[in-house]
Amino acid sequence: MSEKKALLVVSFGTSYAETRKLTIEAIEQDLKAAFPDRTFYRAWTSRMIKKKLLERDGLQIDDVREALERMVSDGVTDVLIQPTHMLAGVEFEDTIRVIRSFLDSFKMITMGRALIANEDDLRLLTGALEKVFEKEIASGMMVFMGHGSERNAFPVYELLQRQFEQDGHADVCVGTVEFTPGIEPVLEKIRARRPEKIFLTPLLVVAGDHATNDMSGDDEDSWKNQFAREGAEVTCIVRGLGEYAEIRQLYLEHARTAVPILPA
């Protein structure tokens, strides 16, 4: 019996159709091109977004369990899984638990890392961001708005901030819209350094609700307006990380170095 190989790309998801095409689907396309011998499958982990798309657009997207069940039905024997999640947080851990329940259903299941899983990933990411935003970093203060995580075992955002500073970029700031470090350390640096120009962009794979509303929205408490009240000219770059080839390349490398999923 010949082996049937599959590629499963797992994403949180988004209800914004245009940014989905520019980010999640761009990552998927790059991965499909890198692994042409594997049949492509997609899964999203956000139940809320999946439900919204089904009700609003009639678009049904599998969750991880449904995608794996579909592969079993299709006779797949070898599965390569690449998540597009930023961090190995709650969604990532839930995905691992589901995958482990299918270990007996396939000959092989391998999985690549989330975008930031260790300090090497941190250095690679900051290097890629410094290249993507080279002009902005040279022209003013660069602020990255991340989501944040309730898991603090690996303080990603604080370490990213430190890495930028070690690279000689004192005017690059990292904050989060949820959890720590929040926006306050960014505001403190703005008040201390009084930049004339601030470039603000999401440190998010997809430029969805947080980027559109919390970061660049018209409400007085949006990051854009809070920074503008400090006297700076604020330019919002509303593009998800998945839009940049330099970031997508990091996902490809993680898929190429995927490791077998082992029992807990």
- Burial status of residue 157 (CB atoms within 10 A of its CB: 0-12, 13-18, 19 or more): buried
The closest alpha carbon to 202, from 245, 158, 143, belongs to: 143
In this structure, what are the phi and psi dihedrals at residue 51, rounded to the nearest 5 degrees?
A: -65, -40
In this structure, what are the phi and psi dihedrals at residue 144, rounded to the nearest 5 degrees?
A: -105, 125
In this structure, what are the phi and psi dihedrals at residue 42, rounded to the nearest 5 degrees?
A: -125, 145
85 is catalytic: no
Strand residues in 125-176 grouped as ranges (E):
141-146, 172-176
Element (H, E) at 185: helix 184-193
Indicate which residue of 147, 169, 210, 254 is catalytic: 147
Would you report the helix, strand and coil content of the chain in percent, each value rounded to 5?
45, 20, 35
Q: What are the distances in angstroms from CA 31 to CA 23, 35, 44, 107, 250?
A: 12, 6, 16, 22, 11
Point out the residues that are catalytic: 147
